[in-house]
Structures are given as structure tokens and as C-alpha cells.
Amino acid sequence: MSNLVDFSQRSLWISAASILFNPTFWNIAAQQASREATRKLTLLAAEYHNKVITKLFGGNARLGCYGLAVTIFSLGIFRDYLYHEALALQPTHPALLSPLVKYSAIPLFLTGNTLVLTSMYALGVTGTYLGDYFGILMDEPVTSFPFNVSEAPMYHGSTLSFLATALWFGKPAGVLLTGLVAVAYSVARRWEDPFTGMIYAKRDEERRKGKKGL
Ligand SMILES: *[C@@H]1O[C@H](CO)[C@@H](O)[C@H](O)[C@H]1NC(C)=O
């Protein structure tokens, strides 16, 4: 392993830390926002004590979500930059330098970016950046492309892009960091999926009650 990955490089550990930090950050931030947003769904006259992010933006859930979107997006760019910096100092491996491996990076990269960009387009800004946590819910679940080919196209697409970069530059360390990305996303989904499910289940319950009231 030691000639595949140079663990003595600080940049490798910094890149690993940023990969782990990002989904951790947005889950903590969004769950903070949702604590009150879910209360809002059940108690119409709820007071917003914990709505930290939303409060920062003058109590407007949509602005709060946009602020989080800009932050998550910037953190993502920074994480990608740190990843490239880390790979630059890592050894290449001859097996990864074969044209077959190198050029397989192109369809992987295109597939990854297609999944990320089309899911952003399908969800919109608030849908992409955990708007439902702020109480900005979608009317219906999105089932159009790319959600008909992947359960989590944003995460799968992003992971593919990391892998493509590793293969393009022939860096085993990149493959290792891609594995870390996959783990970080799968842990994030284990948090997010039940949370999102709960938010929508609550909404549907309120809708049913509302209909009965009419
Ligand atoms: C997903 O949707 C796209 C267009 O909306 C369609 O072309 C494609 O065949 C669908 N794929 C699957 C697996 O259903």
C-alpha cells in the first residue's frame, strides 16, 4: 500500500477531512433548521426558537435555504480543489496509466456530471439543498430522469466524478479517497432519507386532516 498511496502527505489527510466534513456540516445545519420547520407543519402558531439558520436570514425560510445552498456549493468547490491538490502530490500507478483506464474516465465523468446537473435541474435550488428541511416541500416526489435511474443521483454522480478524476490522473490515492466519498454519502443518506420521509409523512398527515376539516 505504501507505494500506492503516500500517507505522509498532509494534503491527503486534509482532502479526507474535507470529504468527511461536508455532508456532516450540511446534515447538522439542515437538521437544525428542520427542528422548527417540522414543528411549523404541526403547530401553525409555533414560535421559532431553534431556527438558527433561518433567523440569520431574517426569518425567511427560502433565504435561509439559499444561504445554505451557497455555503454547501462553495464547500463542494473547495473540497474538489483540495482533492486535486492532494492527488497532485500522490504517486501514479502504471496499471492506472493504461489508455483503457485513462479513457474510461471520460464516460464516468460525463455520466457523473449528467446525474448531478440533471438532478439539480429537476429539483431546483430548494429541492437540491434540503429545502424540505426548511419546510419548503415539493408537491410530489420527483420521479423523472435522473430519479428513474438512480435513488440518489446527486451522490452517485458526485462519487463517479471523484472516481473519474482518480483514473484520469492514474492515482490509487484518488480511488481510496473516492471510497471515502462513497462512505460519507452513504452515512449521510442513512440520516437524510428517514428524515425526509418523516417530513413528508407529517405533511401528508396534515393534508388528510385538512381535507377532513373542509
Ligand atoms: C428515465 O426517464 C427518461 C426520460 O425521462 C427515459 O428516456 C428513460 O428511458 C427512463 N429510464 C428508465 C430506466 O426508466
pLDDT digits (tens, 9 = 90+) for 18-65: 999 999 998 888 788 777 666 665 554 343 444 555 555 556 778 888
Residue with CA nearest ligand 1 atom 3 = 145
Q: Does 139 show up as a binding residue in the annotation?
A: no
Q: What is the pTM of this model?
A: 0.86
The pLDDT-based confidence of 150 (bands split at 50, 70, 90) is very high
Q: Does 193 show up as a binding residue in the annotation?
A: yes
Q: Does 202 score more than 70 pLDDT?
A: yes
Q: Any residues with Cβ below 6 Å from ligand 1, and which? A: 144-145, 148-149
Q: What is the pLDDT of residue 60?
A: 76
Q: Which of 114, 145, 151 to mutate to test the pocket of ligand 1 (most atoms within 8 A of CB)?
A: 145
Mean pLDDT for all residues in the chain? 86
What HEC string does the chain produce?
CCCCCCCCCHHHHHHHHHHHHHHHHHHHHHHHHHHHHHHHHHCCCCCCCCCHHHHHCCCCHHHHHHHHHHHHHHHHHHHHHHHHHHHHCCCCCHHHHCHHHHHHHHHHHHHHHHHHHHHHHHHHHHHHCCHHHHCCCCCCCCCCCCCCCCCCHHHHHHHHHHHHHHHHHCCHHHHHHHHHHHHHHHHHHHHHHHHHHHHHHHHHHHHHHHHHHC
The pLDDT-based confidence of 211 (bands split at 50, 70, 90) is low
Q: Does 192 show up as a binding residue in the annotation?
A: yes
Ligand 1 centroid to residue 137 C-alpha, Å: 24
Ligand 1 closest atom vs CA 148:
1
Ligand 1 closest atom vs CA 149:
13
Ligand 1 centroid to residue 128 C-alpha, Å: 20
Residue with CA nearest ligand 1 atom 4 = 145
Ligand 1 centroid to residue 150 C-alpha, Å: 11
